[in-house]
Amino acid sequence: MLQEERFFRIRNLLETFTRVSTDRVARDLNVSRETARRDLLDLENLGTLRRVHGGAVSIGPEPEAPLSVRLRSNPIEKRRIAKATLKLIKPGQTLFLDAGTTTAILAEELTSVSGLTVVTNSITIALKLSAFNTTRTSEQGSILLSGRVRSETQAVYGDITIGDIHRYNADLAILSPVGLDAKNGATSFEHHECEVARAMCAQAQRVIIMADHSKIGQTSRASYISAAGIDTVITDSGVRALPDFTALKRASFQLVIAK
């Protein structure tokens, strides 16, 4: 795991727990205690946290890591989740996809399903689907929503985007949050991302959340759908070792563990 990816995971831990021990960081990131201690020291020098005896405490929220970094995080698990999600999609359906990294991987898997209409705020996803559509004759549409462009996430957002979403009625809203837990539901760091996801949920018959195990039990700044509003959560087998697994199994949504 690259250092910038470890930094991203440590920031997520601090967003959720405010205070984390060095041992917890080492265990969650699957690194040595010395590597965890060194990362906490480096993040303190960057002004992200304050070290205390045995660990560190948060001194304020950090922005979500760039898309290029997040795409390199847990790629095998995300691909398995995408393939499991594909089994829930039927030809001819209309889908909302948000600008998450796992939904970007799902877009590559959608090439095997005919007649889909994909509505997205992700420039990356729209380009992936557009490139695919030029290589085949079966009808499959991709629609990029209007709005203000955000280069960090390669997506559009804002009031224009929200208004555009309400022009469509989708069979499925398939979303990839920053965090997911059985109490707070699906959450994201940026409020404008939450507004887009919330509107997609409202305009879809069913909501599917794709979240690899690193996001389970995590809570970011803003919630866009409660656990009760989610129909299906798809994650990977790493979730079985998490403390939140029991609560996740007891939640009202269908839980799918990709293999």
- Note the pLDDT tens digit of each residue in 3-50: 878 888 898 888 777 789 999 999 999 999 999 999 999 888 877 788
What are the residue ranges spanned by the domains of the chain?
A: 3-58, 68-258
68-258: CATH topology is: Rossmann fold (3.40.50)
- Note the pLDDT tens digit of each residue in 197-250: 999 999 999 999 999 998 999 888 889 999 999 999 999 999 999 989 999 999
- Closest-CA residue to 193 (of 174, 207, 176): 176
Residue 84 CB-half CA count within 13 A = 23
pTM to 2 decimals?
A: 0.74
| Buried b or exposed e, range 2-17, using 16+ CB within 10 angstroms | eeebbbbbbbbbbbbb
Tokens of 62: 């950090």
Q: What is the pLDDT of residue 13?
A: 85
- Closest-CA residue to 126 (of 155, 147, 167): 155
3-58: CATH topology is: Arc Repressor Mutant, subunit A (1.10.10)
